[in-house]
């Protein structure tokens, strides 16, 4: 295993075949946090050997997802480093050299069996009592001379690992799953290099992790079955085996595997849904790890100071979006006005409520919107709907149910109330500020002998369009006097015909 005295080097190695999956993001966070907690190095490596799906565009999607979460990498694409290149397609010379080293040791052999021959053997084996148990090592017994002659003749072949006979059990002390032992005699002679010269996943990843001096491999437990195979490759090459830590699967709230049909599954989807990067990192960090078993709000700096492998559990994690909503709401409440404006700006702009230029020039004014909704938001995407009335014109659209309940209900005297309120709000001798406006309007309750609710609710509907809104007079203060008065005039004229 990796020596404890070595500086920690970890890696996140996604394949650029689509968006950054939420499970991959959790793996990235664990690696990143472990590196930060130990003063180590976090490496981003792109495993782009799938020629059809590993596109430049998909690579940028991965990088965008990482940046969206605020996960900075110490080495990798766009950063560089002493152990590059950081794209597998640029590392083929290292795989070729490793294969030559294995040839020199007699640890590999060429296999000339065709796919058709292998499929036929598999079909026959599956009908037998023992079933299929892997490649039958037909080509392992070829003499070196015969094998070389067939290679020289141009016969297609792959290179297989020669698993040592009488090899004892493969022992693994996983940081999460603890000690595991796998009989070596169940391991077949796996292919390391394909007919076209490209490396298989297990061969490439061992070469890359070794050449990049990776000390800890933190990855999903779907790779558990690969680990014994990789240990055999490490041994054959004479490389030191890193410390492994395999992470449990993330399941949906229904206990089933995450599915695009039932769940949001990518980082960009969650960001577009209005979740804050800090909240997402906090939430994902708790899917299989805990600080103390109780604390749920864990800022980045606390995560980076305290993350450790011994707090990871092997129990499957549940992605509970109700908890994520709550957590995101907590972050919104505590992020502050300036940060909130910057975070919510894309949502307000996309909704057509404002422009980037206006937000820049009126940043202080936009910050005043924050207290109106900070306690009432779970996701940033909710902001346009909650604040649209502030940006609307002089004739705001009215919610029919709110009108019926608060303006037209028998005995509510809303027409009378709004007429008085209109005169108060149009009076420029009253400061256009929350408290003096609200206090003056509140006096109408005694004057008209009405409950305060029957005073304020008609105003809320007339000004905001709904009986449910952010704090009323705090909102009115941020609007133009003429616009507010015009909305009252519009309601008085069009709802009551006065």
The residues assigned a catalytic role are 260
Specify the 3-state DSSP secondary structure of 137: coil
Tokens of 469: 């809104």
Residues whose CB falls within 8 Å of the CB of residue 497, separated by 6 or more in sequence, listed in order: none
Query: By 3-state DSSP, what share of the chain in percent is helix, strand and coil, each rounded to 5?
Result: 50, 10, 40
- Residues 352, 353, 355, 361, Cα dihedral to 10°: 180
Task: Give the whole-angstrom CA distance, residue 25 versus residue 280.
Answer: 10
Tokens of 333: 């409440």
Residues whose CB falls within 8 Å of the CB of residue 457, separated by 6 or more in sequence, listed in order: 406, 467
Q: Which residues in 419-437 are b (16+ Cβ under 10 Å) and which e?
A: eebbebbeeeeeeeebeeb
Residues whose CB falls within 8 Å of the CB of residue 465, separated by 6 or more in sequence, listed in order: 389, 392, 396, 397, 398, 399, 402
Cβ–Cβ under 8 Å, residues 138 and 188: no
Phi and psi, residue 330, nearest 5°: -65, -40
Tokens of 125: 């084996």
Tokens of 345: 């700006």
How far is residue 241 CA from its own chain's centroid? 30
Q: Which residues in 162-188 are b (16+ Cβ under 10 Å) and which e?
A: bbeeeeeebebebbbbeebebebeebb
Instruction: Tell the residue number behind the tokens 């037909």, with chain if given.
Output: 138
Residue 85 preceded by cis peptide, ω within 30: yes
Task: Give the whole-angstrom CA distance, residue 238 versus residue 19.
Answer: 36
Instruction: Tell the residue number behind the tokens 């430049």, with chain if given.
Output: 56
Among the residues of 238-320, which ranges form H helices? 267-272, 277-285, 300-306
Instruction: Tell the residue number behind the tokens 């014994």, with chain if given.
Output: 228
Cβ–Cβ under 8 Å, residues 10 and 31: yes
Task: Give the whole-angstrom CA distance, residue 73 versus residue 284.
Answer: 18
Instruction: Tell the residue number behind the tokens 């792109």, with chain if given.
Output: 46
Q: Phi-psi bin for 106: left (phi > 0), alpha (psi -120 to 50), beta?
A: left
Tokens of 483: 């616009």
Cβ–Cβ under 8 Å, residues 403 and 495: yes
Task: Give the whole-angstrom CA distance, residue 156 versus residue 154.
Answer: 6
């Amino acid at each position: 295993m990796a020596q404890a005295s070595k500086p920690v080097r970890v890696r996140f190695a996604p394949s650029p075949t689509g968006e950054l999956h939420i499970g991959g993001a959790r793996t990235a966070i664990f690696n990143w946090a472990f590196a930060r907690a130990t003063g180590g190095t976090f490496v981003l490596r792109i495993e782009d050997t799938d020629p059809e799906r590993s596109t430049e565009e998909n690579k940028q999607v991965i990088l965008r997802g990482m940046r969206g979460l605020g996960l900075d990498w110490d080495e990798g694409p766009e950063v560089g480093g002493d152990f590059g290149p950081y794209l597998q397609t640029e590392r083929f010379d290292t795989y070729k050299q490793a294969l030559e080293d294995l040839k020199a040791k007699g640890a590999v052999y060429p296999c000339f069996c065709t796919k058709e021959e292998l499929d036929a053997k598999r079909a026959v084996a599956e009908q037998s009592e023992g079933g299929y148990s892997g490649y039958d090592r037909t080509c392992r017994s070829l003499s070196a001379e015969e094998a070389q002659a067939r290679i020289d003749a141009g016969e297609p072949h792959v290179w297989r690992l020669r698993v040592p006979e009488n090899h004892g059990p493969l022992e693994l002390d996983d940081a999460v799953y603890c000690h595991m032992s796998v009989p070596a005699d169940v391991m077949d002679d796996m292919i390391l290099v394909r007919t076209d010269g490209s490396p298989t996943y297990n061969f490439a990843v061992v070469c890359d992790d070794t050449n990049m001096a990776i000390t800890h491999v933190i990855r999903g437990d779907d790779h558990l079955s690969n680990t014994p195979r990789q240990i055999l490759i490490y041994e054959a090459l004479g490389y030191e085996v890193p410390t492994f830590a395999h992470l449990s699967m993330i399941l949906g709230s229904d206990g089933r595997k995450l599915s695009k049909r039932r769940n949001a599954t990518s980082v960009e989807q969650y960001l577009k849904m209005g979740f804050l990067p800090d909240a997402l990192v906090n939430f994902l960090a708790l899917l299989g790890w805990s600080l103390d078993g109780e604390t749920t709000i864990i800022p980045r700096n606390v995560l980076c100071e305290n993350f450790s492998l011994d707090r990871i559990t092997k129990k499957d994690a549940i992605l509970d979006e109700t908890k994520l909503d709550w957590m995101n709401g907590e972050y919104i409440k505590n992020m502050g006005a300036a940060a909130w404006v910057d975070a919510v700006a894309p949502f307000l702009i996309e909704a057509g409520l404002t422009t980037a230029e206006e937000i820049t020039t009126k940043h202080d004014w936009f910050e005043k919107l924050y207290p109106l909704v900070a306690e009432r938001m779970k996701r940033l995407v909710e902001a346009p709907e909650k604040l649209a009335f502030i940006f609307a014109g002089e004739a705001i659209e009215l919610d029919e149910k709110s009108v019926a309940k608060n303006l037209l209900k028998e005995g509510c005297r809303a027409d009378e109330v709004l007429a008085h309120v209109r005169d108060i709000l149009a009076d420029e001798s009253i400061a256009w500020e929350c408290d003096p406006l609200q206090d003056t309007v509140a006096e109408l309750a005694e004057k008209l002998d009405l409950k305060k609710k029957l005073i304020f609710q008609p105003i809320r509907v007339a000004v905001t369009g709904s009986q449910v809104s952010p704090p009323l007079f705090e909102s009115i203060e941020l609007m133009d006097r003429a616009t507010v008065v015009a909305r009252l005039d519009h309601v008085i004229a069009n709802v009551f015909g006065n």
